[in-house]
Structure 1
Amino acid sequence: MEKRAAIYCRLSREDDNLACDEVSESIQNQQKLLCEYAKKNGFSVYCMYVDENYSGLDNTRPAFCRMIEDARCGRFDTILCKNQSRFTRDMETAQYYLNEVFPLWHVRLIGICDGVDTNDMKNLRLRQINGLINEWYSEDLSDNIRQILRDKMMRGQFIGSFACYGYTKDPAHLHSLIPDPPAAAVVREIYQLYIDGFSLSKIASLLTKKQVMPPCFYKIQHGILFQTPFSKNKITDEADGKIPKWSASSVRHILTNPVYTGTLIQGTTKKESAKSKKRIKLSSTEWIIYPNAHPALISEDIFCEVSSLLQKRRKKNKKV
């Protein structure tokens, strides 16, 4: 009877700091190692499933989910991984699939480098120990990364994926922000217009009329895959050939962001746990605030003046 195997490879950012003698974790080397094992042991490869830049604690990995569905449908009878941690670093997930589900589906998992084989009941304890160690590793790694990022924030280094509108990352120092001249000019104009008496919606209409690209579209136009809460519901003008519109909320976001005074505010949220993707908002007393971290686009005085005007106009509108 033909032995059909799925090959599963995974690499994540948690592997970026591997020592030189551990480079074998790379996707290409995992594939080569597993294909050689399959050939040597008489397996025909049904499919190769690869997840790159996904944590071993993430159970929504696309290739992993496809492989699990194919296993459920009986499309292969064996899964080959370099080791159990490539399959998952989550102890509960390992227990669920390796000891409960796979036996029901008649699917075998082999970790060719750590001796894991679900057909061998003698190494059940090994699988349990591996699951525990792998989970501890991820938790320790998560703590270490969190501390490294916190240290960077404490030194005034920018750790975000994208610079906010008006700035760009300094090519020479990626943890520093420098003004992006075209967008910086728009930011200054927005502040001046508000001081001159323009409302948020009036400023948004004026910028749209001048065909100034809103922040999210501006970044996309410059080759950055970017999304903010304001870009989820894209506001377009059907009659004007779908020219992106500015919104009052986008204008308000710019007028209330201290980053334009040169101040970095980071560490405002944290992950619920190493396993969870959910983020919890922190109290403002826990934020990391670093003044003069980068060149200011507007002065502290102008920012305070605008903040005061925003409050006054909000109160006035409530009375009306």
Structure 2
Amino acid sequence: MSENRRVHFIPPRPVQREKLVGIYCRVSSNSMEQLNSLTNLISALTRLTATTPNWLLVDTYIDIASGKSGSKRIEFIRMLEDCQAKNIEIVITKNISRFGRDTVEVLESLNKLKEHGVRVIFEQEGLDTADSDSELMISIIESIAQAENESRSENIKWGYRRHAAQGTSKLYNRKCYDYENDTDGVLIIKEDEAKNVRLIFELYLRGFSIIGIKRELEKRGIKTPTGKENWSKRTI
């Protein structure tokens, strides 16, 4: 007598599609300190992406630009275009202050990305635009960061103005070619170098090109301000 056996069908687990991830980083200058910081940041965010299930790193966008209005952020624009083209679904960045120059720009960019279904994660603050509670916090944090930057900038400008008014600014007493500081720290003409400056102007008025002036100075054995034998076009 055969037994009636029931066969239970176990459906396969649906394959979860990988989310397309982009990393955005920005530093304000190409100084060695900033570049080292940039390298460490990219490594950290790359590890985060690699260790998160169903995340696939598609591209890394890097801008070396200050936060001042008017500075070009070519990679940021490229990232926005990729998000609009559905090539990126998640953007990871270090913090809010590196994402935009001010509160308005940050919120406008986030709203634009939200319209395209793109999620933005700020790693340092632990904020995620997929969380509705994060929007208010992002606005508050960016406003505070912007106020701090503006205050710092004003303090620096105030310091420059105060030193200029008191006559103690080093900007006006720094060492220049064919000048030297007297015992009071005031710039005075250094005659042995001043004749070289006059020669450069004379050659220029005679129709010499920058390359021609460079060759003439080297031909005469006149050394650069740093004591080198070969002049650079930029120095001239």
Q: TM-score range by the shorter chain?
A: 0.5 to 0.7
- Which residue, 113, 117, 124 being the options, matches 2:135? 124
- Which residue, 149, 154, 158 being the options, matches 2:171? 158
2-structure distance, mates of 1:150, 1:71 = 45
| 2:42 aligned with 1:50 | no
2-structure distance, mates of 1:107, 1:187 = 58
Query: Do the aligned partners of 1:56 and 1:90 also contact (CA within 8 Å) in 2?
Result: no
2-structure distance, mates of 1:71, 1:142 = 33
Query: Do the aligned partners of 1:6 and 1:78 also contact (CA within 8 Å) in 2?
Result: yes
1-structure distance, mates of 2:84, 2:208 = 53
| 2:46 aligned with 1:31 | no
Change (3 A) 1:58 1:168: farther
Change (3 A) 1:66 1:189: same
Which is greater in Rg?
2
Change (3 A) 1:178 1:83: farther
Count of paired positions: 197
Question: AA paired with 1:111?
Answer: F
Query: Do the aligned partners of 2:65 and 2:72 also contact (CA within 8 Å) in 1?
Result: no
1-structure distance, mates of 2:196, 2:92 = 55
User: Which residue does the alignment assign to 2:11?
Assistant: none
| 2:222 aligned with 1:224 | no
Change (3 A) 1:189 1:52: closer
2-structure distance, mates of 1:116, 1:84 = 9
Query: Do the aligned partners of 1:79 and 1:108 also contact (CA within 8 Å) in 2?
Result: yes
1-structure distance, mates of 2:180, 2:120 = 45
| 2:156 aligned with 1:145 | yes
User: Which residue does the alignment assign to 2:114?
Assistant: 103
User: Which residue does the alignment assign to 1:211?
Assistant: 208
1-structure distance, mates of 2:180, 2:59 = 40
Percent identity of paired positions between Structure 1 and Structure 2 = 24
TM-score by length of 1: 0.50
2:77 alignment partner, SS class: helix
Query: Do the aligned partners of 2:21 and 2:89 also contact (CA within 8 Å) in 1?
Result: yes
Uncovered stretches (5+) of structure 1, i.e. residues with no partner = 191-202, 227-320
TM-score by length of 2: 0.65
